Structure 1
Amino acid sequence: MPDHRSEKHFNGRIGWLRAAVLGANDGIISTACLLLGVASADMARSELLLTGVAALVAGAMSMAAGEYVSVSSQADTEQAELDREQQELIAQPAAEHRELASIYVARGVSPELAKQVAQQLMAHDALSAHARDELGIHEASAARPVEAAITSAVTFSLGAALPLLTALLVPGAILVPALGLTSMLFLVCLGMLAAKAGGAPLLPAALRVGFWGALAMIVTSLIGKLFGTIV
């Protein structure tokens, strides 16, 4: 039989990859949009940079707190389900065996073989078998609040630093188009990098990230321009 460990799979990266993509994407888009809105309102360079730095720090802290709270809620729910399942295994093991066997029958295994598989898996590790096949809780996708919080904060900071660096280096006369173009480039590269890390097609990911990023920046620029004109 082939050794499954020699096969390359990417589902083990789901947890941190989701947090990394979310953080970097939000860092680029939110900071670029904020800078574009402020720049379109003809604000001074010093105020523009101060706005960008504040956005980076506040955004990173917000992403870390938000990810930790939301993923902790997922972890609490998963643990509650596991505790409930453990109690059911203690109270009614025969019923749990029939339930697990019925899951395998529904997947196409013959009833007799399903009973044997369920019996052997429960003898080895009953809770893991039910967690995986009944509850859909897998080790690779289990909630990790601290990992998600740190990943999101770091990647948000890195993403936000890119448009902020553009605002620092580019002359004011071409700042708005330069921010838009470079941020689009950053977003497309992020989409491709995330797809590469997850083993997914590159082009759809790049187009998806680029489209929504462009839409957000266009709307923000228009609002900034309108607000600056009115004020």
Structure 2
Amino acid sequence: MSGPAKATHNEPHQGGLAERLNWLRAGVLGANDGIVSVAAVVVGVAGATSDVSPVLTAGAAALIGGAISMALGEYVSVSSQRDTQRALIAKERRELWETPEEELDELAGLYRDKGLSDATAHQVAQELTAHDALAAHLDAELQITERGVVSPWNAAFASGLAFVIGSILPMAAILLPPAAWRVPTTFVAVLLALAITGAVAARIGGSSPARAMIRTVIGGALALAATFAVGTLLDTSGVV
């Protein structure tokens, strides 16, 4: 005979999980973009000149502009998602007010589709409706909750701040070492950081960390190699 069931307070059953995952996703993506985009800019400029001032100026501009762009883009995107969620909640609330019997039958049908018997499905639907009809329908039909509506401000802040934090790594890697080591150090530091952000993003999405790490590292290496090659070509051609 099995023992008493243990409490699972640490499992993510409480509301707000979607909101936390949303800002966490935005933060990881913001950090990844900050690492790649700023690194590509400073490596490109370093390929064209060994002078620190242009590298610092270009890196700072890329950091500030990129952070604002990431935050704004995330705000617009998540605002659209939030508006859609609110519209669906309002629609469900209206249907429950106008056609409660039909909505009860619909809820019971959803539980039948999950494998419950007709009698059990109706009983579950009735009890959940009596407790909180709107919450029951939002969960069964749309897999959302009223408290789980995403916040565009949180996502924008997480994305912008993460971009700045991610940008610090390539800025430090390109500015601190001696001139001969700037580009190699930046390559190594950036690719290691991308491997970490790729693994974290995979964990959040429930996918393979190894595959995500390979994708992000290869993509970052290509970006750095391309911008460095362009900077070097401009330098050797006498354009700059």
Q: TM-score, with normalisation over the residues of structure 1? A: 0.88
Amino acid aligned to 1:218? A
Corresponding residue of 2:72: 65
How far 1:118 moved relative to its partner?
1.2
More deviation, 38-47/134-143? 134-143
Corresponding residue of 1:133: 140
Match of 1:183 among 176, 181, 190: 190
Corresponding residue of 2:7: 3
Corresponding residue of 1:121: 128
Deviations 1:122-172 (A, max 9, x none): 111111111111112246863111111111111110000110011110222
**1:63-212 equivalence runs, <5 A:** 63-138=70-145, 142-194=149-201, 202-212=209-219
Q: TM-score, with normalisation over the residues of structure 2? A: 0.85
How far 1:6 moved relative to its partner?
4.2
Higher helix residue share: 1
More deviation, 35-44/198-207? 198-207
**1:25-64 equivalence runs, <5 A:** 25-42=32-49, 44-64=51-71
Check the 8 A contact 1:68/1:149 in 2, yes or no.
yes
Amino acid aligned to 1:22? L
Match of 1:213 among 201, 210, 220: 220
Gaps of 5+ in 1: none
Check the 8 A contact 1:67/1:152 in 2, yes or no.
yes
C-alpha separation in 2, matches of 1:140 and 1:229:
58
Check the 8 A contact 1:131/1:138 in 2, yes or no.
yes
Check the 8 A contact 2:32/2:163 in 1, yes or no.
yes
Check the 8 A contact 1:14/1:141 in 2, yes or no.
no
More deviation, 158-167/43-52? 43-52
Corresponding residue of 1:20: 27
Amino acid aligned to 1:180? F
Deviations 1:16-58 (A, max 9, x none): 2101101100000000011122222236320111110111111
Q: How many residues align?
A: 231
SS in 1 for 2:9: helix
Percent identity, please.
45
Cα distance 1:53–1:104, how it changes in 2: closer, same or farther (>3 A)? same
